[in-house]
Amino acid sequence: MSGFPSTPAEAAAQAAGYYYQIRFGLYRALKRLLRDPTGSIAIERIDDIAISTAQPSSQSLTVAEIDQLKHTSNPSVTFTDNSTAIWRTIGNWIRLSSLDADIALGLPDLVLVTNASVQPGSGISHLGPSEEDRDPAVAMTKLIAAAETSENKTSAKDRSDFLSLEAPIRFALVKAIRIVPGAPGLAALASEIEDLLHYACEISQLSDFRSELEGWWFDRLSDVLATGIGVVVPLLEIDARVSYLREKYKTSNLQIDVEESADQADSLGDYLFVKQVRAVKVGQQRLRNAQRDFLKASAQRSKWLRESRIDPAELDRYDRTLEEQWSTKAAILSDELPSPCTEDDKCKCGRATLGWAETQQTPLKGATAQFLTSGSYHALADRLRVGWHPEFKELFEVG
């Protein structure tokens, strides 16, 4: 038992419709950006959603599309020519065009988007989004017949307004209508948005990227919608936010996802980094730790390169950073050597330098792990770019 009473279905449906409008608005804006980034998207200004486009050599915007959303929690619903929701939408568009001369003169696309279906053979089934799915003349004939014969009192006013239009105006209205059935529902829209953002980040980051963009979008709309006047957002503002997040995700968040190396630590005895560790007389456990970190770091770095998640130049810069940090630390510890100093003094200094390297966690594109830094230091030691014994060059350099 949850301890909470059940939410009425109508209230839940209203909440779903509200979030659907917010999410669909972002989806529609991202799609429009692919074609024309100069316009704006309006939420609750003219209708549920409206798209405006900038006019050449003009500072004004022209409404290019008006969207009415009909989200249902029961996608098995089928709209017909007699559906109240259809006539309410048509009636709203008639009243809108009568109130706005600019819309009446240059009738924009009037789009009804729903995750429900449309009855095959109905008038509205001839008003699909694609030209091959459209026959406005047939649609108008069927809608007139439905308007004249329906006895639904709820839609009476909307049907009457439709029949009262002059024939040319009525046909222009029907010709502007586009019905988009079977649209993605509230949950499915998340995947649709991620498909539009696939270029912006790695596949593994898409869900987080989309969530962060939606969070910004919700905050952007909420403050203005709370005033009850609707909100207009330039598409370039959305594009700028995507670019910001793209840069953010590009420069961070490599994932630590290495699998255990198949190589055995005891096979590394001839490696220079192993000889360097032994030269400062450490215990067997520290030697095994060095071999483990070397193998894990090598496996992780190779995996990132293999999957094209990092550029080799970035790894080179990371190694140079480690080398500079080691140089500073090694110089500090070497200055503390007594004069004269014994071999034991030198080994003690080397163990201190090694101990410092073993516990460092220098991030690489947001990825932080002790083994990554320690293992990378051992890889550098294997190439004699760093060392632990103060005289490691003299001890191991050939020629």
- Tokens 């083994």 locate to 371
The dihedral of CA 382, 387, 389, 394: what is its sign?
Answer: positive
* Residue matched to tokens 């709203």: 92
For every one of its 399 residues, what pLDDT tens digit does the chain have, with 9 covering 90 and above?
A: 445 555 555 667 777 888 899 999 999 999 999 888 888 999 988 788 999 887 554 455 688 899 999 998 887 899 999 999 999 999 999 988 776 655 655 678 999 999 999 999 999 999 999 898 899 999 999 999 999 999 999 999 999 999 999 999 999 999 999 999 999 988 999 999 999 999 888 888 899 999 999 999 999 888 777 676 778 899 999 999 999 998 888 765 688 888 766 566 677 889 999 999 999 999 999 999 999 999 999 999 999 998 877 889 889 999 999 999 999 999 999 999 999 999 999 999 999 999 999 999 999 988 999 999 999 999 999 999 999 999 999 999 875
**Separation between Cα atoms, residue 219 and residue 248, nearest integer Å:** 19
Angstrom distance (rounded) from CA 294 to CA 272: 12
Mean pLDDT score across all residues of the chain: 89
Residue 114 backbone dihedrals phi, psi, to 5 degrees: -145, 150
pTM above threshold 0.85 = no
pLDDT per residue as tens digits for the range 165-209: 999 999 999 999 999 999 998 899 999 999 999 988 888 889 999
Per-residue pLDDT tens over the stretch 108-146: 899 999 999 999 999 999 999 989 889 999 999 999 999
CA distance 363 to 52: 45
CA distance 389 to 394: 10
Burial of 256 (0-12, 13-18, 19+ CB in 10 A): middle
What amino acid occupies position 30? Answer: L
Q: By C-alpha distance, which of 207, 302, 310 is closest to 254?
A: 310
- Give the per-residue SS3 of 280-302: CCCCHHHHHHHHHHHHHHHHHHH
